[in-house]
Structure 1
Amino acid sequence: MSGIWLDSHTFHNFSDAPGRSTLLSEIATREAAGADLIGYIGLLPDPDPILRKRGDSAAILEELTSDDQVCMAIQNRKLGTLLRRHFQFLPGAAPDSEPTAGAKALAENLQADLKHINLYDLISEVLDAPYFGFAPAELLWEPDNGRLRLKNIVVKPRAWFGFGEDNDLRFLRMGALYGDPVPDHKFVLARHFPTYENPYGLRLLSRCLWPVAFKRGGIRFWTEFIEKFGAPWVVGQAHQGATEKDRNRMLSDLTAMVRTACAVISAGSDVEIHEPSGKSGDLHLRYCDTWNAAISKVLMGQTLTSELYGQGSRAASETHFSVLENYRDADAHIVASFFDSVALEYGAVTAPDEIPPRWDWNDPDDQGQTAELTKSLTESGVTFRKTYFMRRFDLADDEFDIGAESDRGSGTSETALSSPASGFTPDQQALEDMADALMPEAREAAAQITDAIRAACEAAESYEELEALLADVLGTGSGTLPELMERAMIAARMWGEYNG
């Protein structure tokens, strides 16, 4: 019989595979692997490699936020997400179905409850997850006219919680050896890149421990260097035949001179003041800058948006800013996942039979892009329902009307829509038809020129190089758009001569 002992009491028989009992069981478990003695202590030890090597707890990470570079990087990254203040809860719905009245009421009730909660501060605490790994929040409920209302959402200290062998959240109550499992519908987690092996999440601040420590040591030595070599040196030459007593008295006078700028020197003695020169202290500056850059890379993924150092092209700066924006978008996803979990618990408590709502960032920039896409799809023949505009643009039902389907998606050009054909002569109408026929080609040609100009701007690393690239793009006089314009001008001239 072939098989494997999973532990001292459980034997897995391979002859049963792929039987139902094998498929329904979990083979690779912590208890079976004996990982970290989980069966003896009941809680999963914190697997953060840096904290474990140092023998520290996660509490030491709070101290790192006092570093100026760490504080700046956290605020810079956080504010990019906190300033996205346009959001909403969309009613839940099954695929290809409209939300039910109950689902709409559920979303409205949740939004009404959240109006009494300071969401700005709450989101700020949720955004601590990337730096500390996770953020546990407790849902506080209260009765309200026969239903439970969400009174508040409070992010609690991370040191009060741990994770069990099933990666379940445990509350470390005073006196409890293993931690208590948290009750259902009471806690919601925001986590940064959690895994099965590390449910505590990836802590960015632990990766800044050594850079901050080395930077602080460099600043201390730098300060001592400045104290020793930054001030002017007062050098005295004692007169010939001066005794040891005379030399000590002169040293005392020179020491007083450094503090008071006044001294009485014996006759025959010389005093010179030497100003420090050279750039010996730059070594300390570069040392500290190195660790500042390391901190910025860990927390923001790049350095140019925090430290310029007098170098870096415009294209490189835009690339670095794009990386920072990606980090902020990832933070926005953490916030959305957190509130989706809040909505899931809210629905389970107040309306368990309804599909819970979902969080949606509704930025003005996104609306502009959606409007452009909607316009393009409509011109291509797509017909949207009124509910589409209500969801995408947050419009009330009585704020707009949808025209007849024959007015949309018919492929009629903007020129024809803006100018009624009944007012044209047959010859003028022919010109209008020719313009309509040329318009798609003209749009495509203009888009090609726009793309070429944009590519030149992104490739250039100086104004001189940009000027040369634009000359190549625009100075040749060739391309599709000039040909289209020439065809249109010839046709117009011929029509004018014919009817003159």
Structure 2
Amino acid sequence: MGNSDSLLREIATRERSPDFRFAGMVLPNPDQVLRLQGKSIQTYRDMRIDGHVGGCIRRRKSAVKALESGLDDRQAPARVVQSVRDMLRDLPMDRLIGNALDAVLYGYQPMEVTWKTVGRLWAPGDVVAKPPEWFGFDSENRLRFKTREDQVQGELLPDRKFLLPRQDATYDNPYGFADLSMCYWPIVFKKGGMKFWLRFVEKFGGTFMIGKLPRTATKQEHDELLDSLDRLIQDGVGTIPDDGSVAPLESDSKKASADLYERLVMFCRSEVSIALTGTNQTTEADSNLASATAGLTVAESIRDGDASLVAAELNKLIRWIVDLNWGGGPAPLFKFWDQEARDVLQAARDSSNHSAGARFTNAYWRRAYGYQAGDLHDG
């Protein structure tokens, strides 16, 4: 066997790599959109005012918040479980979950924990999301706060102070992957399409009025007719010379041209839906009930991934609580679950077991399905 020291140390590091250019500095965010456009995360934050983007974000967050959640004891002492449960109950969990889910939008979301003492116990008083652009990562992928005094190296943060939900973070990219980066160009093209569509409607949405004058008409007569047509379009009434005429002019190609802008806008909306919810259905008037309903959902795989991201950070907080107050030991585990899906699966399993000859007691039915005393006949 070779030198055992090589098994204990890291070999491929940034300091030793040939392309390391940021020694002693906060690493730049490698997000391709932000880097190539020379922008900050504020760009993604501004995108949330778009009605479709904002709606998709609300649906995505609501999908996680709609799940059931709670603690799994995992052999932790009863007093520890109860204390942790009480501490979590005192936190604004709805806001905390929503803020943690911003990590999937921006790639990462630092959240500062403010501790307090309750009797003899340390408890989290609040968990507040801070602007991601205030923070960066050093060559060892440690989170640093870019203070006003030191924006190059930043301030190394203390332990048990910041939760850091991140999506698909890697050694090469500790900032994680921002889902809103997939929406940037569709939103840019959508805005451009809407801009030209509005210009098209303004210019070609109405009927053109064409005035006709004899070839011998003077420039003054033409100018007077143009003024009359302008009043006719604006006010609906106007006068023209008695030897002239006015006729409407329609274009058969206008509808086809307008459809091109609408198709571009709808394509961009579809791309945003795919990026944020995993579905490409719409809720437009021409969709059927099934597709409209699908358009209001979030893919279960995305929902479950988001829930796992939030649960991991809450379990890190629980680990800190147990270590600070009881010096370590078993800690309860925070979980999300889909109760409806779990009930369907359990009912199918119980039905199969019953068909195979299993007989369940009333105590089991009460425990598994929530029946109350008196709901079931004994005997």
Counterpart of 1:66? 49
Counterpart of 1:23? 7
| Whole-angstrom CA distance in 2 between matches of 1:215 and 1:321 | 21
**Judging changes above 3 Å, is the alpha-carbon distance between structure 1 residues 325 and 317 closer, same or farther for their aligned structure 2 residues?**
farther
| Equivalent of 1:156 in 113, 124, 130 | 130
Counterpart of 1:295? 272
| Whole-angstrom CA distance in 2 between matches of 1:62 and 1:25 | 40
**Judging changes above 3 Å, is the alpha-carbon distance between structure 1 residues 364 and 323 closer, same or farther for their aligned structure 2 residues?**
closer
Deviation sequence 1:359-388 (CA, Å, 0-9, x none): 12254315523465467568777999x99x
Deviation sequence 1:166-219 (CA, Å, 0-9, x none): 211111222123111211111111111111111111111112111111111111
State whether structure 2 residue 111 is matched by structure 1 residue 122: no
Which AA in structure 2 matches 1:135? Q
State whether structure 2 residue 18 is matched by structure 1 residue 44: no
Contact 1:230 1:276 in 2 (8 A): no
Deviation sequence 1:93-117 (CA, Å, 0-9, x none): 2xxxxx4xxx322221122122222
Which AA in structure 2 matches 1:295? V
Which AA in structure 2 matches 1:132? Y
- 1:296 is displaced (CA, Å) by 1.5
| Whole-angstrom CA distance in 2 between matches of 1:150 and 1:128 | 21
Root mean square deviation of aligned Cα: 3.1
- 1:50 is displaced (CA, Å) by 2.5
**Judging changes above 3 Å, is the alpha-carbon distance between structure 1 residues 251 and 312 closer, same or farther for their aligned structure 2 residues?**
same
Deviation sequence 1:414-436 (CA, Å, 0-9, x none): xxx99x9xxxxxxxxxxxxxxxx
Which AA in structure 1 matches 2:71? F
Contact 1:36 1:44 in 2 (8 A): no
| Equivalent of 2:141 in 167, 171, 179 | 167
- 1:252 is displaced (CA, Å) by 0.9
- 1:282 is displaced (CA, Å) by 0.7
- 1:243 is displaced (CA, Å) by 1.3
| Whole-angstrom CA distance in 2 between matches of 1:393 and 1:174 | 57
| Whole-angstrom CA distance in 2 between matches of 1:121 and 1:18 | 52
**Which shows bigger deviation, 242-251 or 293-302?**
293-302
The structure, 1 or 2, with the larger RCO (C-alpha pairs under 8 Å, 6+ apart) is 2
Contact 1:134 1:201 in 2 (8 A): yes
Q: Secondary structure at the match of 1:30?
A: coil
Counterpart of 1:482? none
Instruction: Output aligned runs, 1:60-459, within 5 Å.
Output: 60-84=43-67, 86-93=68-75, 99=76, 103-176=77-150, 177-239=152-214, 241-278=216-253, 279=255, 280-304=257-281, 306-307=282-283, 310=286, 324-368=299-343, 369-370=345-346, 372-373=348-349
| Equivalent of 2:38 in 48, 55, 58 | 55
**Judging changes above 3 Å, is the alpha-carbon distance between structure 1 residues 211 and 228 closer, same or farther for their aligned structure 2 residues?**
same
Deviation sequence 1:40-62 (CA, Å, 0-9, x none): 42x22211122222222222111
Contact 1:367 1:393 in 2 (8 A): no
- 1:238 is displaced (CA, Å) by 2.1
**Judging changes above 3 Å, is the alpha-carbon distance between structure 1 residues 320 and 257 closer, same or farther for their aligned structure 2 residues?**
closer
Greater gyration radius: 1
| Whole-angstrom CA distance in 2 between matches of 1:231 and 1:111 | 65
| Whole-angstrom CA distance in 1 between matches of 2:212 and 2:197 | 30
- 1:312 is displaced (CA, Å) by 8.2
Contact 1:47 1:198 in 2 (8 A): yes
Q: Which residues of structure 1 form unaligned runs of 5+? A: 1-16, 94-98, 401-416, 421-500
| Whole-angstrom CA distance in 1 between matches of 2:261 and 2:339 | 46
Corresponding residue pairs, total: 369
Which AA in structure 2 matches 1:39? A
| Whole-angstrom CA distance in 2 between matches of 1:240 and 1:72 | 59
Contact 1:77 1:324 in 2 (8 A): no
Q: Percent identity?
A: 27
**Judging changes above 3 Å, is the alpha-carbon distance between structure 1 residues 309 and 54 closer, same or farther for their aligned structure 2 residues?**
farther
| Whole-angstrom CA distance in 1 between matches of 2:348 and 2:358 | 15
| Whole-angstrom CA distance in 1 between matches of 2:279 and 2:228 | 53
| Whole-angstrom CA distance in 1 between matches of 2:370 and 2:316 | 23
Q: Secondary structure at the match of 2:16?
A: helix
Write 1 or 2 for the structure with the bigger share of helix: 1
